Structure 1
Amino acid sequence: MSPPLEFRTYSDYRIPPLQFEQERNAHSRSPGDRSLLQKWSIEDILNRFSQRPQAETKGSGDSEEALKESDLEDLEKKGDEGTLVTWDGDNDPQNPLNWSYSRKWIGTWLVSCFTFISPLASTMVAPALDTIADDFDIESDFMRMFVMAIFLLGFAVGPFVIGPLSEVFGRVKVLQLCNLWFLVFNGLCGFARNKDEMLAFRFLSGMGGSAPQAIGQGILADIWTKEERGLGSAIYGLMTWLGPAIGPIAGAFCTHFTTWRWVFWATSLFSIAIQALAIFFLSESYGPYLLRQKAKKLRNKTGDMSLKTEHDQKSVGQMLSKALVRPFVMLFTQPAIISISVYRAFFYGVMYLVLSTFPEVWEDEYDMEVHIASLNYLSLGIGFFIGLFLTGHLQDWLYARLKTLYNTAEGKPEYRIPPMLLGGVLSPAGLLTYGWAVQAHTHWIVPDVGAAIFACGLIVIFQCAQNYLIDAYTTHAASAAGAAAFLRTMAGFSFPLFADRMYDALEWGWGNTLLAGVSFVLGLPAAWALWVFGERIRARSKYCSG
């Protein structure tokens, strides 16, 4: 056997040409290798390719073992394209997909908590809007609603920048910096002295608060396999929806017993607590970023500047410019993202429209006090929990079942679609129940049941759509999420603004019948189209993972 090699750089040691060529060829015959890039791990480079020092080689007297200067130059030319650094095998513990379950669940819960905070802040102000309007002399109903909705405008803009930044600088750094931005400007809302300051601080806090929406799905794609992702994604999605449901309850009690300013200060304090936990327990999960850091450490250790990853670009500037453009390109060129985004955007907008009607329904129609009326938001939370139960294990079980049924080694994103049909029926049914019960002024439990059914359908739809995007665009999941989040949050921003006029014209029953009809017509055909044509659509995309 050959003696163990002590490889550092080409200039440090002379390597037997024949032996080097044999070793290199043995490591470059992987499927899909389209160049002289060798797929070597750290252990390959540091341990397998090593060679006796130059002085020892010279003393061996073996002319074949002595590398001529022309041979060395030739080998350096052949290696100009670099050595590809990858994970150390399929079971590399540094690969986030191989993390322990405890570490994965810690990451999932922390990201879910971040995701809970910003939707909480978006609606927590709702019960305080009348008080804020009195303090700042806001007379227009439109402008009063705009104080709540402008947060979602920042929510729509942020992901276009935040998602791509996480694919260049890592998920955790960007998430924590954006959360810091959010808690600062959200806290400043509590110190606002006039309408203009409130609107500016709300918009800026919304931009920072959009980070979990832009990055969270990417983190789930980083750490969970397709077969395991259902429950973790369901918990993440539940937090996205629990925030808007719990926010008004907390806001009502804060406003009733203290002051509306504590609505903002309380959320910032909660955000600080989650930030502190994340500093100690949330690890970086983005594979390409971790591999780039791995290659950088290896270059410093070996002195071999040819070491690179398949994700490397020539400069950070090129990586950043490409990443920032990607969500815009994906939004307008990817039919799968367009269809999913429009589908989710409508239901997200309807949810915020329904949320905006709760104060009028419970305080005016049912004559409840503000803090008591806010408890009706619990009906949405109950619906979300039921939806979580339906989709959490069901998605994983159905995904595995369809793999067996169609005899495929790898599952397809389309295997996430079937439960969307259930959600497409439940949400319209809930809207009809809620609207006509309010118009008939039935017992308060009936509209609450309708709201719960509506919420259950929503989370089923959103969980399936979310997992479809993660499966289809795994590597660029954050960019895909950013593109989808734009339309969704723009709908959440705009729908409440026309709620009053719609219900004034159509009243509660026919207004919700209109929403239910559009939901039904949009929901079922969209799910069917993705099931039938989704694979062909993805096959034409350069961004899709499979």
Structure 2
Amino acid sequence: MSSSLTPSDEEKSIEAVRSAEEKELPAESMEQSSDAVSMSENQNTEHDGSNPSKENDAAEPIVIDWAENDQANPKNWSKRHRWAVTLIMASITFISPAASSMVAPAAADIGRELHLSSDIELQLVVSVYLLGYTVGPLFLSPMSEIYGRKWIIQCANAVFLVFNLACGFAQTKSQLIAFRFLTGLGGSAPLSVGGGILGDIWTSHDRGRAMSIYSLGPVLGPSLGPIAAGFIASNTTWRWIFWAISILDGVVLVIAITLFQETYAPTILKQRANKLTKETGIKHISKYEDTSLSRKEIWTKNLIRPFKLLSTQPIIQFLTAYMAFIYGLLYLILTTFPKLWTEQYGESTSIGGLNYISVSVGYLLGGQLSSILVDRLYKRLEVKNGGVGRPEFRIPLMFLSSVVLPIGLFWYGWTAQAKTHWILPNIGAAIICFAGMISFGALQIYAVDTYGRYAASALAAIACIRSACGFGFPLFAPYLYNALGYGWGNSLLAFVGFGVGVPLPIVLWRYGAELRRRSPYAVEDRVD
């Protein structure tokens, strides 16, 4: 708890702040800090109803908050600065998923050299990467809410770079599978923490376009990666697939280290409070700090938060179910595409890889439509709601996409089964990806809007199950298509998609606000 200062104590505190300002701190930053301290003291006095002249609580810490128009607040950064951070995160989030599927076109070559004898082993080389995606968010996201986003993203990206490079030097299947898992572990950070970073720097009015661009990475990367990998595998060794993506990631890592700044408000305010304490000799704390908890308790509280969200929050459970299905579909299509085009249509590895363009086109069209409409619809619905924004205003696009997705699955499955002209299965795949991208983007923005400062933990909970489905779907895909063929196999998936996807936007639209009111983690309706 913060104290109410006596007039003499207040004069000492202000004098000390001014002294620190003259010595080291930038004038603008210290002025904002002083304003924030003053505001916090006034608020606390009004709240307590206490008389500063009758008590001396100088030993108690001074609580600081953002000053009005505080330029250290990431939401007040210039638009150019915020877009720079967004594009850095979009680049990292593109590279990591691209690495997950790039090995698919070269799976046969890898199998011959490293003696992978069964279809399960070949699929495992692709899918074990997503097992790292399943584990990583469970501790990386909570750590970003303890230590901040910057170092978690950069350290995890360095782990990705080292082990992805090591994959290119693997001499046994065990080494390759182990390195792929560790690469996925490091590569999971941008998918789980990245949404929280965008929530840190954008208000709900402007967040939709940024989130739509960021959300392209997890789906566009896996679809474009195999196109490049097909030509690499055809013209040189499969090992260059890993080395090429490592070179690209190294460039992005250098840019991120140079330009990326901390975005998490509690971490920035804590750093400011520590600096004020050091400079003034008077204890300052951030408004987000809970001084009653030990370091162990803070760790425990943050590490179990994703599990608590997943087990207690119906909104998270609904989002997880459908996003996991969409993500599983993505990897099912990506890992079975090479076999469809090389065996069913008799194309070479490099030419067959060009069919991934249809997947990319679908995601790009879905992402573009989503980025144009998501903020526009939000603002229009906000005006109709008396100027009060609601996370549920992100949902309307899903009424379209949840119906279009099963149509795409039927189209893709039965045209592939009948061996029609190659353009027809590609159109079906593009429809699937178009609808999946709209749903994926809308649900991701909805999660960030709903859980605010706990967005990273919310996305971690979703990413855990989502990635588990991305890991599992490709493993049963060969058995599904061998037993039912492309027609009935994809029809089964279409029925599941219809049964899960169509009710979801209806439930969230009608009951989302009530579910948020009952949650200790979710935000209320608000005016930005």
Question: Per the alignment, in what secondary structure is the counterpart of residue 12 of structure 2?
Answer: coil
2:519 is the alignment partner of 1:514: no
Taking structure 1 as reference, are residues 526 and 33 closer, same or farther at Cα in structure 2, changes over 3 Å only? farther
Give, in angstroms, the shift of residue 544 of structure 1.
0.8
In the aligned structure 2, how far is the partner of 1:517 from the partner of 1:33?
58
Q: 2:331 aligns with which of 346, 349, 352?
A: 352
What value does the CA root-mean-square deviation take over the aligned residues? Answer: 2.4
**Cα–Cα, structure 1 residues 32 and 10, in superposed 2: closer, same or farther, change >3 Å?**
closer
| Corresponding residue for residue 478 of structure 1 | 456
**In structure 1, what residue type is equivalent to 2:275?**
K
For the Cα contact (< 8 Å) 2:40–2:63, is it kept in 1?
A: no
Q: Cα–Cα, structure 1 residues 438 and 26, in superposed 2: closer, same or farther, change >3 Å?
A: closer
Is the alpha carbon distance of 1:25 and 1:189 closer, same or farther for their aligned partners in structure 2, counting shifts above 3 Å? Answer: closer
Asked if 2 retains the 8 angstrom alpha-carbon contact of 1:417 and 1:530, the reply is yes
Hey, what's the Cα distance between the residues in 1 that align with 2:381 and 2:94?
A: 32
- Does the 8 Å contact 1:37/1:83 carry over to 2? no
Match of 1:364 among 325, 328, 343: 343
**Residues 1:332 and 2:337 are matched in the alignment:** no
User: Is residue 9 of structure 2 the alignment partner of residue 7 of structure 1?
Assistant: no
Alignment of 1:30-429 (within 5 A): 30=43, 74-76=55-57, 79-89=58-68, 91-313=69-291, 314-407=293-386, 409-429=387-407
Cα distance in 2, alignment partners of residues 244 and 536 from structure 1: 37
Contact 2:41/2:63, CA 8 A, preserved across alignment? no
Give the TM-score, by structure 1 length. Answer: 0.87
Spell out structure 1 runs of 4+ moving beyond 4 A.
Answer: 2-6, 9-12, 24-29, 31-38
Partner amino acid for 1:179? Answer: N
Summarize deviations over 1:81-114 as a string: whole Å, max 9, x none. 422101121x111100011010010000000001
Q: Check conservation: 1:136, 1:194, Cα contact below 8 A.
A: yes
| Mapped contact 1:9–1:302 kept (Cα < 8 A) | no
> Offset of 1:134 from its aligned partner?
0.7
Contact 2:150/2:261, CA 8 A, preserved across alignment: yes
Structure of greater Rg: 1
Q: Secondary structure at the match of 2:136?
A: helix
> Which ranges in structure 1 are unaligned for 5 or more consecutive residues?
13-23, 39-48, 50-66
Q: Could you list the per-position Cα deviations for residues 191-227 of structure 1 after superposition, in whole angstroms to 9, with x for gaps in the alignment? A: 1110111111111111000000111000110011101
SS at match of 2:204: coil
CA distance in 2, matches of 1:159, 1:317: 20
- Give how far 1:318 is off: 3.0
Q: d(CA) in 2 for partners of 1:441 and 1:349?
A: 24
- Cα deviations by residue, 1:28-86 (Å, 9 ceiling, x for unpaired): 55499755899xxxxxxxxxx9xxxxxxxxxxxxxxxxx9xxx7xx402xx55422101
**Deviation by residue 1:141-188 (Cα, 9 ceiling, x = unmatched):** 111101110000011100010001111111011100000001101111
Please tell me whether the aligned partners of residues 233 and 467 of structure 1 are also in contact (alpha carbons under 8 angstroms): yes
- In structure 2, stretches of 5+ residues that fail to align are 1-6, 18-36
Task: For 1:170 and 1:36, locate their aligned partners in 2 and report how far apart those are by CA, in whole Å.
Answer: 35
Aligned partner letter, 1:328? F
Greater alpha carbon shift after TM alignment, 245-254 vs 374-383:
245-254
Q: What count of residue pairs does the alignment treat as equivalent?
A: 498
* Letter of the 1:400 counterpart: K
The answer to whether the 8 A contact 2:270-2:285 is kept is no
Partner SS, residue 89 of structure 2: helix
Deviation at 1:319, TM superposition (A): 2.4
Q: Secondary structure at the match of 1:84?
A: strand
The code of the aligned residue for 1:83 comes to I
Partner Cα distance (2:154, 2:323) in 1: 27
Normalising by structure 2, report the TM-score.
Answer: 0.90
Percent identity at matched positions?
42
Per the alignment, do residues 308 and 233 of structure 1 end up closer, same or farther by CA in structure 2, a change over 3 Å counting? closer
Tell me if the contact between 1:292 and 1:312 (Cα under 8 Å) persists in the aligned partners.
Answer: no
d(CA) in 1 for partners of 2:427, 2:39: 65
Amino acid corresponding to residue 7 of structure 1 in structure 2: K
Closer, same or farther: CA 153–34 of 1 in aligned 2, 3 Å: farther
Conserved 8 A contact 1:28-1:36: no
**104-113 or 429-438, larger mean C-alpha shift:** 429-438
Cα deviation for residue 283 of structure 1 reads 1.3
Which whole-Å CA distance do the structure 2 matches of 1:8 and 1:160 have between them? 42
Distance 1:294 1:435, change over 3 A: same
Q: In structure 2, give the amino acid aligned to 1:339.
A: F
The C-alpha deviation readout for 1:232-251, integer Å capped at 9, x for no partner, is 01100112211010111111
Q: CA deviation at 1:311?
A: 2.9
Distance 2:404 2:45 in 1: 46
Q: Which amino acid aligns with 1:371?
A: S
